[in-house]
Amino acid sequence: MDLSVEIGSLKLANPLMAASGCYGYGVEYAEAVDLRSLGAVVSKGLFLKPREGHPPERIVETPSGMLNAIGLQGIGVHRYIAEKLPELRRLGATNVINICGSTLDEYVELARILSDAEGVHALEINISCPNIKEGGITFGCSLHGTFDVVSAIKKVTHLPVIPKLTPNVTDVASIAKAAEDAGADAVSLVNTFLAMAIDVESRRPKLSNIVGGLSGPAIRPIAVRMVYECRRAVKIPIIGMGGIATATDALEFMIAGATAVQVGTANFVDPFIWTKLIDGMEAYMTRHRMSRIADLVGTVDTSTREKQWVSS
């Protein structure tokens, strides 16, 4: 059975990646999980400098999901390269680094620095974090902003460039197209949905940041729809995510058009989820007499539904 997939020049042993911000820097899980059994580990979002993030409360549980406003707390790129990458190399992980900037120059500088570091396999460009005021999502909410960040980064790196898109736009497919036009090797989607929760007794927002990003199973059907729309708009590979908690969920994203998938919030519920996902995928392939998981990508059959739609 062949579970491997290709994201541009990046070859993954299987389509399952740990999503940014939900798996630390990867090394924290190494005692519990063989990182080589994951398609890739996506790092927590890195800025040039360390950041403290927002004060608590930063996480709130919501029906079928969670709301977070961490504010991109992180150790910064230099400490990541010095302290985390050597261990990740030793562990044999495939490392995708999630980078965040307040300005275009910061993104370019981060891409330059990481391109010279040994053990970095791809860059995921975070132009979609809803929890910071400056930069980031401001780029990801506009066609020009997306195009400019991606094309500037492409000029300074040989690594695959994967902009991560926000769902907080009217037409995510047009943003994916702008990324493709700028030379992106793939796109990943979705980041979290802007959301809010209020404590009715105190009448205060539950998060210190007032608003945050919603993730988990609550967002899955919206994320699947967005992957499906992007698949129709671009030719580059799509990495899908949003509420994946079972093999069936992961397969749904692949059938909608994702070549690979990321698992975020579900890690907080079950850190050992990976073997269950792999086993479930293999069982599906056996049941459907498939030898290559890559053959599943984008195979959603809408033909009969479209006919029903036209005739009703």
Ligand X SMILES: Cc1cc2nc3c(=O)[nH]c(=O)nc-3n(C[C@H](O)[C@H](O)[C@H](O)COP(=O)(O)O)c2cc1C
Using the rule CB under 6 A, is 70 a contact of ligand X? Answer: yes
Q: Which helix (H) or strand (E) holds 309?
A: helix 303-311
Distances (CA, A) of 178 to 8, 141, 209: 17, 11, 30
DSSP, collapsed to helix, strand or coil, labels residue 122 as strand
Give residues with Cβ within 8 angstroms of 211, minimum separation 6: 69, 130, 194, 195, 196, 205
- Measured from the CB atom, the residue of 72 and 173 that comes closer to ligand X is 72
Residue 282 CB, nearest approach to ligand X (Å): 21
Among residues 45, 71, 130, 140, the one that binds ligand X under rule CB under 6 A: 45
Using the rule CB under 6 A, is 126 a contact of ligand X? Answer: yes
Stretch that binds ligand X, among 32-40, 115-123, 195-203, 257-265 (CB under 6 A): 257-265
Choose among 244, 255, 256, 241: nearest CA to 293: 255
Phi, psi of 98 (to 5 degrees): -90, 120
Residue 303 CB, nearest approach to ligand X (Å): 30
Using the rule CB under 6 A, is 230 a contact of ligand X? Answer: no
Q: Which residue has the tokens 């389509």?
A: 15
What is the token pair recorded at 266? 């579900």
Residue 222 CB, nearest approach to ligand X (Å): 11
The residue whose Cβ lies closest to ligand X is: 21
Using the rule CB under 6 A, is 243 a contact of ligand X? Answer: yes
Instruction: Lay out the site mask for ligand X across 91-120 (x = CB under 6 A, - = otherwise).
Output: -------x----------------------
Give the relative orientation of helices 172-181 and 143-154 as an angle to the nearest 10 degrees: 30
- Measured from the CB atom, the residue of 157 and 215 that comes closer to ligand X is 215
Distance CA 145, CA 175 (A): 9
Using the rule CB under 6 A, is 191 a contact of ligand X? Answer: yes
Distance of CA 85 to the CA centre of its chain: 20
Stretch that binds ligand X, among 48-56, 77-85, 201-209, 235-243 (CB under 6 A): 235-243
User: Where are any strands of DSSP class E within 32-156?
Assistant: 40-42, 59-62, 65-68, 95-99, 122-126
Distance CA 217, CA 196 (A): 17
Residue 147 CB, nearest approach to ligand X (Å): 19
Active site residue 141: no
Catalytic residue among 100, 129, 141, 230: 129
Using the rule CB under 6 A, is 215 a contact of ligand X? Answer: yes
Site size toward ligand X, by CB under 6 A? 27
| Residues between 129 and 188 with contacts to ligand X, criterion CB under 6 A | 129, 164
Which residues are known to be catalytic? Answer: 129
> Which residues form the interface with ligand X (CB under 6 A)?
19-22, 44-45, 66, 68, 70, 72, 98, 126, 129, 164, 191-192, 215-216, 219, 241-244, 263-266
